[in-house]
């Protein structure tokens, strides 16, 4: 029961954004797509989310033909770099959105929706801010609302597109740690796009280093540091920070 | 046609339906009237249409329209340049009040625009007796028509230049000052080249409106054939006289002017998009 | 330079390195006063020569009330029609690709560029009983020309660009991310449109509708040919002003003009307040 990506290719006009990407990741893993801009990582993420369509290739998740499902039906929570919060709705309404648009048969009663919203607000540590509007929140708070909103639909897969890119260094560090804890508590398969190697190496179970539409290497952070498979990977990671103090903390036992 | 591009594409039937509705509405509402103008003008053949245009009254109407535009447009252009210089290069109290004042003609009925000048200069107006005593005619004569036209069209250049110039900032002008340039030199060498397309755009709109203004001019002109009828007024006179071919022939000239204006406008918007305005507003 | 003059200068205007403030500012104020403020003052003052009672009587005669009702009523209906179709046209122009899109986009500006008299005679001919649209409709028993319905048609023509041009920049600024987010959260396109897109467009829709309404209320040239102009039935308020002027009832004309002007200002004020309210919530 894992995420299997097979030979995904995608072109924008003449530009080949993805050139045959394949990998397998166990269910519940935290995968980082790491690479410079133009490497195709966001395109791949959007294909996984159903916001882009691959020209070729196949994706299977939990034994389903993933690409045959429209975005609406995938229950893949997507967190955008610039939050994409609904400006004219309160925080609570934003979070409740995915539940409120469900077909009558599957829609929880109002009281239940409100309860879940409160639960999620607590989870992202924004208790009491339900009635605020996004414009009244800081960047870090808005990102947490975006996350809560994606979590509200009980997603099978969580996709994050450089979610901390627009935030300052301290906030990024804190949110990174917090996100990891959240992932460990919930066990959702998470794919996380970033161009920041420190971030990827510190937070992910598996890191796929991408370059020009291809995966150069996919391995655990430890393995990447110890044995970079190509010159590109070595160079890209060479700019990373010194080793973390407890190397073992970043290695997760995968089934 | 209608290629799907991403996950939030509307269902095909919605897209086709919406485009069809939009196209039909535009065709019915906008295209058809335009076509009618030319078709009616040519309904008795090209010669009849041309003959109508060569008629002496038609000629004086055309001349009058041109004269009025030749006076109103340049003075409004100067106003627009002065006002946008004052507003965008300096900070002072009352700016937004000034901006509101400049927008006034857009919220006033054309008839009211003419009415106010009649109230000032008409026979029973404020200055009526004084003008009569000195044998000066403003209403029912050229000056009145020019004034009414100026009122209706003066915002166009200013409204075009103000956002553009405020977007461009003051840096270049300040650099010019530091290099010793005089005010006029700064304006001519630094500012004007930056705003020339926006200026052209504004002048174009100003001119189209000046030549086509009807309501305001109708009130102040007195409809004296051969003397105080502009082209739009002449169209009315002919139409009310059941001389449809003549009316539509003159109207065709005006419609042609409108189409040329639209053409040049589209061209400027396409080619010089960022040199025209910060945002598109009309 | 006494200390006092320096102090007043900095309170009212920040000193600037750039030259030319005084001449441009003075010219701007002079121009505005001469062309706009003083004539408008004439309009504001003249009706009161009737006294308060006289003023109220002048604007509440059945004929005046009928005309005001027609002008405002037809303008409102036309504004609503334009809001609905204007939204469709703007959506289609911003979101879809199809042949002739550029052409339709340019045509939307036609009512801005076309002289109102030309539009007026074209619409009157088109919708008359022998016209291209009027003929088939009269077979169905529907008369448009020379009825209040004709007024609505004419006002719809001139109002469309206000709605479309106000919506277009807002729609394209909206960006697609919010809609993508809604899709990933399970919303259908219709739900996304209703819950995410439409609320974000409300301020622009209101603005466009109000601008179209304000313009339509005072419209003259496009309407008088198709309207019929029968007192109490199909006579618009601006025409009434013209008639009163021809009868030398300056005060009466000014009274009606003042009512129309005040109504336009009120609309704009309410609009600004509404926009401020909506914006404050973002």
pLDDT digits (tens, 9 = 90+) for C88-114: 999 999 999 888 898 898 899 899 889
Domain with C71 in it? 51-280
Is B93's CB within 8 Å of C113's CB?
A: no
Supply the pTM of this predicted model. 0.80
A31 and A68 belong to one structural domain:
yes
User: Once rounded to an integer, what is the mean pLDDT over residues A21-40?
Assistant: 93
Which is nearest to C107 in space by CA: B27, B271, B18? Answer: B27
Q: What CATH number is given to the structural domain containing A233? A: 3.40.50.300
Query: What is the per-residue pLDDT for C3?
Result: 42
A224 and A103 belong to one structural domain:
no
Domain boundary among A96, A123, A154: A154
A133 touches chain C (CB under 8 A): yes
Lowest-confidence region among A97-111, B250-264, C189-203: A97-111
Which is nearest to A158 in space by CA: A254, A68, A249, A61? Answer: A61
CB distance C156 to B25 below 8 Å: no
Per-residue confidence band for C282, with pLDDT thresholds at 50, 70 and 90: low
Residue A74: its chain C contacts at CB < 8 A?
Answer: 184
A57 and A171 belong to one structural domain:
yes
Nearest chain B residue to A53 by CA: give it. Answer: B6
Nearest CA distance, B91 vs chain A (angstrom): 29
Is C25's CB within 8 Å of B18's CB?
A: no
Percentage of chain B lying above the pLDDT 70 cut: 95
Nearest CA distance, B5 vs chain A (angstrom): 8
Residue B279: its chain C contacts at CB < 8 A?
Answer: 169
A149 and A162 belong to one structural domain:
no
Mean pLDDT of chain A: 88
A54 and A93 belong to one structural domain:
no
A176 and A188 belong to one structural domain:
yes
Percentage helix, strand, coil for chain C under 3-state DSSP, each rounded to 5: 80, 0, 20
Inside any domain, residue C87? yes
φ/ψ of A49, rounded to 5, equals -85, -10
Inside any domain, residue C177? yes
Q: How far is CA C168 from CA A67, B148, C93, C162, in A?
A: 34, 32, 8, 10
CB distance C266 to C185 below 8 Å: no
User: Once rounded to an integer, what is the mean pLDDT over residues C170-191?
Assistant: 88
Query: What is the per-residue pLDDT for C49?
Result: 85
Inside any domain, residue C31? no
A to B CB pairs, distance under 8 Å: 11
Inside any domain, residue A255? no
Which is nearest to A218 in space by CA: A1, A4, A54? Answer: A4
Is B108's CB within 8 Å of C218's CB?
A: yes
A135 touches chain C (CB under 8 A): yes
Query: What is the per-residue pLDDT for C6?
Result: 42
**List of residues 6+ apart from A149 with CB closer than 8 A:** A77, A85, A94, A95, A97, A98, C181, C185
Q: With a cut of 70, which residues of chain B have pLDDT below it?
A: 1-6, 276-282
A15 and A115 belong to one structural domain:
no
Nearest CA distance, A28 vs chain B (angstrom): 26
| Residue ranges of domains in chain B | 1-41, 47-276
Residue A82: its chain C contacts at CB < 8 A?
Answer: 177
Nearest CA distance, C213 vs chain A (angstrom): 26
Inside any domain, residue C137? yes
CB distance B103 to B151 below 8 Å: no
Residue C120: its chain B contacts at CB < 8 A?
Answer: 214
Query: What is the per-residue pLDDT for A239?
Result: 66
Write the CATH number of the domain with boundaries B47-276. 1.10.3720.10
User: Once rounded to an integer, what is the mean pLDDT over residues C126-151?
Assistant: 88
A146 and A243 belong to one structural domain:
no
Q: How far is CA B37 from CA A169, B57, B190, B233, C156, in A?
A: 66, 20, 45, 16, 18
Inside any domain, residue C42? no
Strands A189-194 and A157-161: parallel
A109 and A49 belong to one structural domain:
no
- End-to-end alpha-carbon separation of chain A, Å? 11
Query: What is the per-residue pLDDT for B6?
Result: 65
A40 and A164 belong to one structural domain:
yes
Q: What CATH number is given to the structural domain containing C218? A: 1.10.3720.10
Inside any domain, residue A137? yes
User: Once rounded to an integer, what is the mean pLDDT over residues C181-207?
Assistant: 90
Query: What is the per-residue pLDDT for B280?
Result: 41
B69 touches chain C (CB under 8 A): no
Domain count, chain A: 2
The Cβ-side half-sphere exposure at C122, using a 13 Å CA radius, reads: 31
Domain count, chain C: 1
Domain with A144 in it? 85-154
Residue C8 pLDDT > 50, yes or no? no
Domain boundary among A154, A180, A199: A154
A129 and A53 belong to one structural domain:
no
A58 and A107 belong to one structural domain:
no
Inside any domain, residue C43? no
Query: What is the per-residue pLDDT for C141?
Result: 84
Inside any domain, residue C153? yes
Tokens of B22: 């939009």
CB distance A134 to A145 below 8 Å: yes
Nearest CA distance, C219 vs chain B (angstrom): 6
The Cβ-side half-sphere exposure at C204, using a 13 Å CA radius, reads: 23
Higher pLDDT, A37 or C268: A37
- Measured distance CA(B120)–CA(B126) in Å, rounded: 5
Per-residue confidence band for A253, with pLDDT thresholds at 50, 70 and 90: very low
Q: How far is CA C225 from CA B231, B236, C203, in A?
A: 16, 9, 34
Q: How far is CA C66 from CA A229, B75, C233, C242, in A?
A: 86, 40, 7, 16
Instruction: Please report, for chain C, how many H helices and E strands are present, in that order.
Output: 16, 0
Report ipTM for this prediction.
0.86
Inside any domain, residue A15? yes
């Amino acid at each position: 029961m894992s995420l299997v990506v097979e030979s995904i290719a995608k072109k924008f006009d003449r530009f080949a954004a993805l050139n045959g990407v394949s990998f397998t990741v166990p269910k519940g893993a935290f995968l980082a797509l790491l690479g410079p801009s133009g490497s195709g990582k966001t395109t791949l993420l959007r294909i996984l989310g159903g916001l882009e369509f691959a020209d070729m290739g196949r994706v299977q998740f939990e034994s389903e033909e993933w690409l045959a499902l429209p975005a609406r039906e995938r229950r893949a929570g997507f967190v955008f770099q610039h939050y994409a919060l609904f400006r004219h709705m309160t925080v609570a309404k934003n979070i409740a959105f995915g539940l409120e648009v469900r077909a009558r048969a599957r829609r929880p009663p109002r009281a239940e929706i409100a309860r879940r919203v409160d639960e999620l607000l607590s989870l992202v540590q924004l208790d009491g801010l339900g009635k605020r509007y996004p414009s009244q929140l800081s960047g870090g708070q808005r990102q947490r609302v975006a996350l809560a909103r994606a979590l509200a639909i009980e997603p099978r897969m969580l996709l994050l597109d450089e979610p901390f890119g627009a935030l300052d260094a301290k906030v990024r560090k804190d949110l990174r740690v917090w996100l990891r804890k959240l992932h460990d508590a919930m066990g959702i398969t998470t794919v996380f796009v970033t161009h920041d190697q420190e971030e990827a190496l510190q937070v992910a179970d598996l890191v796929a280093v991408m370059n020009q539409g291809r995966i150069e290497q996919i391995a655990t952070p430890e393995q990447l540091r110890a044995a970079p498979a190509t010159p590109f990977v070595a160079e890209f990671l060479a700019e990373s920070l010194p080793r973390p103090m407890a190397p073992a903390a970043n290695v997760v036992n995968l089934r | 046609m209608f290629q799907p591009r991403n996950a939030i594409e509307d269902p095909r039937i919605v897209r086709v339906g919406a485009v069809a509705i939009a196209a039909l509405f535009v065709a019915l509402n906008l295209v058809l009237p335009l076509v009618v103008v030319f078709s009616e003008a040519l309904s008795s053949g090209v010669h009849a249409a041309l003959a109508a245009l060569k008629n002496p009254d038609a000629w004086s109407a055309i001349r009058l329209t041109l004269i009025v535009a030749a006076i109103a447009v340049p003075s409004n252009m100067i106003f627009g340049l002065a006002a946008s210089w004052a507003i965008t290069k300096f900070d002072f109290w009352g700016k937004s009040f000034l901006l509101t004042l400049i927008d006034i003609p857009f919220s006033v009925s054309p008839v009211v625009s003419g009415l106010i000048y009649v109230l000032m200069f008409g026979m029973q107006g404020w200055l009526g007796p004084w003008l009569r005593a000195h044998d000066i005619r403003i209403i029912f004569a050229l000056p009145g028509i020019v004034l009414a036209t100026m009122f209706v069209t003066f915002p166009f250049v200013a409204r075009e230049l103000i956002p553009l110039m405020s977007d461009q900032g003051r840096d270049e002008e300040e650099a010019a000052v530091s290099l010793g340039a005089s005010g006029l030199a700064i304006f001519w060498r630094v500012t004007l080249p930056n705003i020339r397309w926006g200026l052209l755009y504004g002048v174009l709109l100003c001119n189209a409106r000046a030549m086509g203004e009807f309501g305001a001019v109708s009130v102040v002109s007195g409809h004296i054939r051969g003397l105080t009828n502009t082209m739009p007024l002449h169209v009315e006179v002919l139409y009310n006289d059941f001389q449809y071919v003549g009316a539509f022939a003159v109207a065709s000239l005006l419609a042609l002017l409108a189409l040329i204006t639209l053409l040049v406008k589209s061209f400027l918007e396409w080619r010089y998009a960022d040199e025209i305005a910060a945002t598109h507003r009309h | 330079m006494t200390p006092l003059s320096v102090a007043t200068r900095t309170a009212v205007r920040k000193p600037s390195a750039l030259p030319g403030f005084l001449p441009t500012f003075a010219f701007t104020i002079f121009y505005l006063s001469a062309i706009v403020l003083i004539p408008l003052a004439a309009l504001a003052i003249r009706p009161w020569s009737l006294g308060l009672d006289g003023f109220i009587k002048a604007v509440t005669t059945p004929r005046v009330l009928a005309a005001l009702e027609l002008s405002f009523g037809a303008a409102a209906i036309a504004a609503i029609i334009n809001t609905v179709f204007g939204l469709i046209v703007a959506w289609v122009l911003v979101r879809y690709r199809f042949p002739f899109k550029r052409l339709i986009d340019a045509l939307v500006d036609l009512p801005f560029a076309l002289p109102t008299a030309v539009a007026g005679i074209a619409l009157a001919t088109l919708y008359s009983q022998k016209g291209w649209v009027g003929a088939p409709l009269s077979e169905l028993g529907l008369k448009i020309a020379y009825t209040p319905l004709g007024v609505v048609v004419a006002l719809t023509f001139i109002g469309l660009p206000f709605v479309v041009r106000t919506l277009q920049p807002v729609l394209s600024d909206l960006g697609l991310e919010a809609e993508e987010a809604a899709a990933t959260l399970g919303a259908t396109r219709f739900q996304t449109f209703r819950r995410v897109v439409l609320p974000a467009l409300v301020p622009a829709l209101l603005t466009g509708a109000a601008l179209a309404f304000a313009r339509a209320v005072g419209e003259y040239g496009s309407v008088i040919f198709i309207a019929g102009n029968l007192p109490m039935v199909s006579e618009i308020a601006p025409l009434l002003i013209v008639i009163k002027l021809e009868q030398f009832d300056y005060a009466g004309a000014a009274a009606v003009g003042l009512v129309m002007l005040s109504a336009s200002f009120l609309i704009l004020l309410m609009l600004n307040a509404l926009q401020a309210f909506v914006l404050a919530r973002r």
